[in-house]
Structure 1
Amino acid sequence: MAQQIKTAVEEMLAPFLEREGFELVDIEYVKEGSNWFLRVFVDKEGGIDIDDCGRISEYLSERLDEKDPIPTAYFLEVSSPGAERPLKKPQDFVRAVGKNVFVTTYEPIEGAKEFEGKLLDYSEERLVVQAGKKTTEIPAGKVASARLAILF
């Protein structure tokens, strides 16, 4: 059900986002406590502001009211992906080369399932992450999640 909702929302938003120069980063449809949330994360070159979020929210809200793909009451949130944006698509990883990332894997690689460090290289087959002096090659198929990371 959640995947169908995400797909429907993406199809509703795609023409508007493309026309306006926005990038769809992620969509979440989650239950927190007794409430459902539809969260849409968007970005654009130079970043987005509150007015951008408002325009996207208004556009999407009208389409959701028309097509009504969500059977329960929910809260709609439109926002920037933030400083620790998720890395989902190949172009996200390409843009992240040279930046700090946090990667989790489905199974241990060299005894670990979490890797935090600089993304040195990316291809559709693998990621190369350097943490301190240690460099780890992670097969792309074993990546459970990845995001930009702010290291302190």
Structure 2
Amino acid sequence: MPHPLHDDVEALVRPLAAEVGFDLCGLQLQTHRVPMTVLVQLRPAGGGDVSLDDCARFSGLLGEALETADLLDEPYVLEVSSPGVPEELRDDRDFRSFRGFPVVVTVRDGEGSEHAREGLLLERDEQAVHLNVRGRRSRIARSDVIAVHLSSPSEG
């Protein structure tokens, strides 16, 4: 169950992040910690990575905004970070960012059973996920794809 102030804090963070060129990827108010931790995860709106300097800069801006808004009446620690590398690729940005990386695609075959296909991610378009499997292009219809996960390269 989210903290009762989650939506109010998000309404403060999201436009502030957008104003300085970031997308809000995650927000948690971790009340099981003492003091409470406000965990904010950002991505640059135009793609790329979040640097430590970006996190520090945004932390200062957000800290001032939280103090001015007076939403949190208890002590808290503010943590600003990148969401890190996702295990499962979900959106177009993930598929662009991880082109050439080894992936495992969980596929549903025509009989309803599941199996895994491994290869290097080439792209995802409207119709299919394209992999390089041992030097050959393999096309998997998007309608058959259950999930795409990053994997470790196979040892030879």
Please give the TM-score of this superposition, normalised by the length of structure 1: 0.57
* Residues 37-116 of structure 1 mapped to structure 2, 5 A cutoff: 37-43=38-44, 47-67=49-69, 75-82=77-84, 84-85=85-86, 87-101=89-103, 109-110=108-109, 111-112=113-114
Residue number in structure 2 paired with 1:29: 28
Cα distance change on mapping 1:118 and 1:52 into 2, 3 Å: same
The Cα of 1:125 is off from its aligned counterpart by 5.2
The Cα of 1:119 is off from its aligned counterpart by 1.8
Is 1:137 aligned to 2:136, yes or no? Answer: no
For the residue of structure 2 that corresponds to 1:98, the secondary structure is: coil
Aligned CA-pair RMSD = 4.4
Question: What runs of 5+ residues in structure 2 fail to find an aligned partner?
Answer: none
Contact 2:108–2:115 under 8 Å retained in 1: yes
For the residue of structure 1 that corresponds to 2:42, the secondary structure is: strand
Contact 2:17–2:24 under 8 Å retained in 1: no
Question: What runs of 5+ residues in structure 1 fail to find an aligned partner?
Answer: none
For the residue of structure 1 that corresponds to 2:62, the secondary structure is: helix
The Cα of 1:54 is off from its aligned counterpart by 0.8
The Cα of 1:39 is off from its aligned counterpart by 2.9
Q: Identity, % of aligned pairs?
A: 26
The Cα of 1:58 is off from its aligned counterpart by 0.9
Larger Rg: 2
Contact 1:25–1:81 under 8 Å retained in 2: no
Cα distance change on mapping 1:60 and 1:149 into 2, 3 Å: farther
Structure having the larger proportion of residues in helix: 1
Please give the TM-score of this superposition, normalised by the length of structure 2: 0.56
CA distance, structure 1, for counterparts of residue 67 and residue 52 of structure 2:
22
